[in-house]
């Protein structure tokens, strides 16, 4: 050791400080590791994370009004929505000028659809007015106030302009308000009329029913997993096929099979009537309600519960139970104090899997749920594919995602996520 190294930094063979050299070597190693996972990382990023965020961003995005009616929105800023009086001529003139451009690009009907989510009648108002405004000249035909009201008397309705003004910001909380049964008005957020409130109720129902389904999966799955884990390997493997069999059958087929089983003229009711346990005119109603959804979804999600439980139980040494019994524990005490605590990580993993899959389920509740057994995902599907209200669908999806994250966090606090094992 020279003086040089004792007070200066330690040097590597090539004279660079050792710390730097080490960092470089580590960086290289990290880069190599990153390169190895890069394909997967990029795949997940492009096919999963970016689409999710672009979809979720729709829940607040609302540039369509400004883009379609830029002049009108500027003019409307000077107008007091609470005055109860119609806007003045400049707003109407700006509106016609905007519409002529929008009609040319065929964008006005799209705006009509957007505003129709907020105010019934906007869709046809824009479509019909478009046909007539097309023939107007923004310069020569002024003034427009009277003319527009002639085209459709709704242009003489303060409410129409209030809706346009209320929904003109490019970033809106309107979809999120709609998602919790409220709406955006010039006076601020207000709750929807009672006869249109449904979404909060559906959120609650989705959570409660998912919990019930998770609970029944635990009750049914635990004994099965226990038997599988305690049988000799060869028998267990055969039985495992029975557990996995549903995985290899189409979801639709399984759900439809439940329909055949559970309906009033179905297999179960026929057998009960034949046995005389149920009168012919009071057959059990087991489908097209919550019972149907719970039965069918428990069956479909059961393997997701059994598999993690099974793999955890396999690792529990049978000697522990014997040891407990040798020290005087009864069968029950040995199970409850020794075996069960060891199997909790499996229950935890299975429950998280089943619960998260359940709250996003859509096709099974749609088929067997009737009116009382449908989930929030059924409304999301409706808004994605039928009403095309993707903003609302995105807001509902975001809320669902946040709820799951909160529950996950709560689970971590209560049970601890380290306690989850898939094997």
Partner 1 sequence: MKFTKLTALAVTTALVAPAAFAQEMTIVSWGGAYTKSQKNAYHDPYSEKTGVTIINDDSSAEAVAKLRAMNEAGNVTWDVVDVVAADAIRLCDEGLAMEIDPDTMLAPAPDGTSAADDFGDLLVSDCFIPQIVYSTTFGYRTDLVGDTAPTSVCAVFDTDAYPGKRSLEKRPINNMEWALICDGVAKDDVYDVLATPEGQDKALAKLDTIKDDVIWWSAGADTPQLLADGEVIMGSTYNGRLFSVIEEQKQPVAMLWDAQVFDLDGWIIPAGLSDERKKQALDYIFFATDTQRLADQAKWISYGPARASSAPLVGQHADLGIDMAPHMPTDPNNAQNTFLYNYEFWADYRDDIDAKFQAWLAK
- DSSP letter (8 states) at residue 14: T
Token pair 């807001």: residue: 395
Q: What is the dihedral of CA 415, 417, 422, 423, to 10 degrees?
A: -80
Q: In this complex, which beta carbon is closest to partner 1, that of residue 90 or of residue 112? A: 112
Exposed / middle / buried, residue 360 (Cβ in 10 Å: 0-12, 13-18, 19+): middle
Instruction: Tell me the window of 231-239, 331-339, 362-370, 409-417 that interacts with partner 1 (CB under 8 A).
Output: 362-370
280 vs 272: CA distance, rounded Å? 9
Q: In whole angstroms, how close is the CB of 389 to partner 1 at the nearest point?
A: 7
288 counts as binding partner 1 under rule CB under 8 A = yes
Alpha helix segments (H runs only) across 105-232 = 108-116, 122-133, 145-151, 158-166, 174-179, 199-230
- Cα 228 off chain centre by: 34
How would you label 102-131 residue by residue, b for 16+ Cβ within 10 Å and e otherwise?
A: bbeeebbebbbbbbbbbbebbbebbeebbe
Q: In whole angstroms, how close is the CB of 31 to partner 1 at the nearest point?
A: 27
CB 130 within 8 A of CB 109: yes
Q: In this complex, which beta carbon is closest to partner 1, that of residue 113 or of residue 185? A: 113
Instruction: Tell me the window of 193-201, 212-220, 322-330, 413-421 that interacts with partner 1 (CB under 8 A).
Output: 193-201
CB 294 within 8 A of CB 302: no
Q: Which of 82, 85, 139, 195 binds partner 1 (CB under 8 A)?
A: 195
387 counts as binding partner 1 under rule CB under 8 A = yes
Q: In whole angstroms, how close is the CB of 154 to partner 1 at the nearest point?
A: 11
263 counts as binding partner 1 under rule CB under 8 A = yes
Q: In this complex, which beta carbon is closest to partner 1, that of residue 382 or of residue 411? A: 382
Q: Which of 74, 173, 264, 419 binds partner 1 (CB under 8 A)?
A: 264
196 counts as binding partner 1 under rule CB under 8 A = yes
Instruction: Tell me the window of 68-76, 301-309, 347-355, 378-386 that interacts with partner 1 (CB under 8 A).
Output: 378-386
188 vs 319: CA distance, rounded Å? 66
Binding mask 88-127 for partner 1 (x = CB under 8 A): ------------------xx-xx-xx--xx--xxxxx--x
Question: Considering CB under 8 A, how many residues would be counted as binding partner 1?
Answer: 42
Q: In whole angstroms, how close is the CB of 113 to partner 1 at the nearest point?
A: 5
208 vs 222: CA distance, rounded Å? 21
Residues in contact with partner 1 by CB under 8 A are 106-107, 109-110, 112-113, 116-117, 120-124, 127, 192, 195-198, 201-202, 259, 263-266, 288, 366-367, 370-372, 374, 379, 382, 384-390
């Amino acid at each position: 050791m020279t003086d040089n190294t004792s007070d200066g930094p330690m040097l590597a063979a090539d004279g660079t400080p050792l710390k730097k050299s080490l960092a470089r070597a580590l960086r290289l190693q990290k880069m190599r590791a990153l390169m190895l996972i890069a394909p997967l990382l990029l795949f997940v990023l492009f096919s999963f994370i970016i689409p999710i965020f672009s979809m979720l961003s729709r829940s607040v995005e609302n540039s369509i009004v400004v883009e379609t009616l830029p002049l009108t929105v500027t003019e409307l800023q000077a107008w007091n929505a609470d005055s109860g009086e119609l806007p003045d001529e400049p707003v109407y003139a700006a509106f016609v000028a905007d519409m002529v451009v929008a009609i040319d690009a065929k964008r006005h009907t799209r705006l009509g659809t957007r505003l129709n989510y907020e105010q019934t009648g906007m869709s046809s108002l824009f479509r019909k007015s478009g046909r007539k405004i097309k023939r107007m000249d923004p310069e020569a035909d002024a003034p427009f106030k009277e003319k527009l009201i002639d085209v459709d008397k709704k242009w003489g309705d303060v409410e129409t302009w209030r809706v346009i003004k209320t929904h003109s910001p490019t970033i809106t909380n309107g979809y999120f308000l709609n998602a919790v049964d409220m709406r955006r008005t010039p006076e601020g957020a207000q709750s929807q009329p009672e006869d249109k409130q449904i979404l909060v109720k559906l959120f609650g129902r989705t959570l409660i029913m998912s919990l019930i389904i998770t609970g029944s999966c635990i009750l049914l799955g635990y004994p099965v997993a226990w038997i599988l884990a305690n049988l000799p390997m060869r028998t267990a493997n055969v039985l495992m096929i029975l557990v996995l069999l549903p995985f290899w059958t189409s979801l639709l087929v399984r759900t439809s099979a439940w329909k055949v089983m559970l309906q009033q003229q179905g297999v179960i009711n026929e057998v009960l009537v034949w046995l005389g346990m149920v009168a012919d005119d009071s057959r059990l109603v087991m489908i097209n309600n919550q019972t149907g959804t719970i039965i069918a979804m428990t069956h479909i999600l059961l393997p997701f519960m059994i598999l993690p439980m099974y793999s955890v139980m396999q690792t529990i040494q049978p000697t522990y139970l014997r040891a407990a019994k040798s020290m005087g524990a009864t069968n029950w005490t040995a199970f409850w104090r020794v075996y069960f605590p060891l199997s909790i990580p499996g229950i935890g993993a299975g429950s998280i899997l089943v619960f998260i899959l359940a709250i996003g389920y859509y096709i099974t509740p749609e088929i067997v749920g009737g009116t009382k057994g449908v989930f929030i995902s059924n409304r999301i599907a409706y808004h994605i594919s039928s009403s095309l209200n993707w903003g609302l669908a995105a807001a509902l999806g975001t809320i669902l995602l946040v709820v799951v994250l909160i529950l996950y966090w709560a689970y971590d606090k209560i049970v601890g996520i380290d306690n989850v094992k898939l094997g």
